[in-house]
Amino acid sequence: GAGVSQSPSNKVTEKGKDVELRCDPISGHTALYWYRQSLGQGLEFLIYFQGNSAPDKSGLPSDRFSAERTGGSVSTLTIQRTQQEDSAVYLCASSSPQGWETQYFGPGTRLLVL
Amino acid sequence: AQSVTQPDIHITVSEGASLELRCNYSYGATPYLFWYVQSPGQGLQLLLKYFSGDTLVQGIKGFEAEFKRSQSSFNLRKPSVHWSDAAEYFCAVGARGNNDMRFGAGTRLTVKP
């Protein structure tokens, strides 16, 4: 597709369950970011992938959060043992090596933990 | 890593009034600076960016921002706000030498009729 896609668009889960959120960046984009946007809150950086380099995980809030990027393209954000405070919109963005300053955002996955 | 502070969580202005949204950054060298806007139900859109040169940069939708190194600031301004400017505004800082960007927490703008 032409833009960044994320799936699912909405996810409702029970507290304690694990969830996986997927991001398909724009083809050729080497940088990929995950952010969390909680209700009434700003954009919180989670993790950053750049090519084959080791990811910057400094924004992950706890060890329940992890992410991987397979083949330098698709990324999966996994939240284990979800808590109610994990409820938020999870945004993925990608950027190209030539135009790295412009991040293209996906529509987000709205996660609700009951 | 670099960081960004947006001191104002929420600002309300009247339509037609001027606007200034504050942004302060922390970075050891000259940064790349950006402003993004997120309209309700929409994704984030780049408004303007500063890399080097003229410290006053023009963006889309009539916005401008000024880089002030001495104050580590990159405030966003608009002379006359329109109702359609109501949105969430995010300042971001990028580090030279890599493709890492960090966003501020955002400022929500409400426009009164």
Higher per-residue pLDDT: A59 or A40? A59
> Which DSSP string do the residues of chain B spell out, in sequence order?
--EEE---SEEEEETTS-EEE--EEE-SSPPEEEEEEE-TTS-EEEEEEE-SS-SEEE-GGG-EEEEEGGGTEEEEEESS--GGG-EEEEEEEE-TTS--EEE---EEEEEE-
Q: Are B100 and A93 in contact (CB < 8 Å)?
A: no
CA distance A28 to B32: 22
* Strand, coil or helix: A86: helix
Per-window interface: B 56-85 vs A, CB < 8 A: none
Interface of B with A in 22-61 (CB under 8 A): 32, 34, 36, 43-44, 46, 49, 51
Here the tokens at position A8 are 């699912």
pLDDT tops 60 at residue B103? yes
How many Å lie between the alpha carbon of A75 and the closest alpha carbon of chain B?
17
Nearest CA in chain A to B48: A102
Chosen for mutation from B23, B44, B47, B89 (greatest number of chain A CBs closer than 10 Å) is B44
Is the peptide bond prior to A61 cis by the omega test (within 30 degrees of 0)?
no
Q: Which of A97-101, A106-110, B53-57 has the lowest mean pLDDT?
A: A97-101
A70, with CB counted inside 10 A (0-12, 13-18, 19+), is exposed
Contact B1 A31 (CB under 8 A): no
Contacts of B101 in chain A (CB under 8 A): 33, 101, 103
| CA neighbours closer than 13 Å in the CB half-sphere of residue B72 | 12
Q: How confident is the model at residue B96 (pLDDT cuts 50, 70, 90)?
A: low
Q: Which residues of B touch A6 (CB under 8 A)?
A: none
pLDDT in tens, B29-58: 778 999 999 887 777 888 999 988 899 999
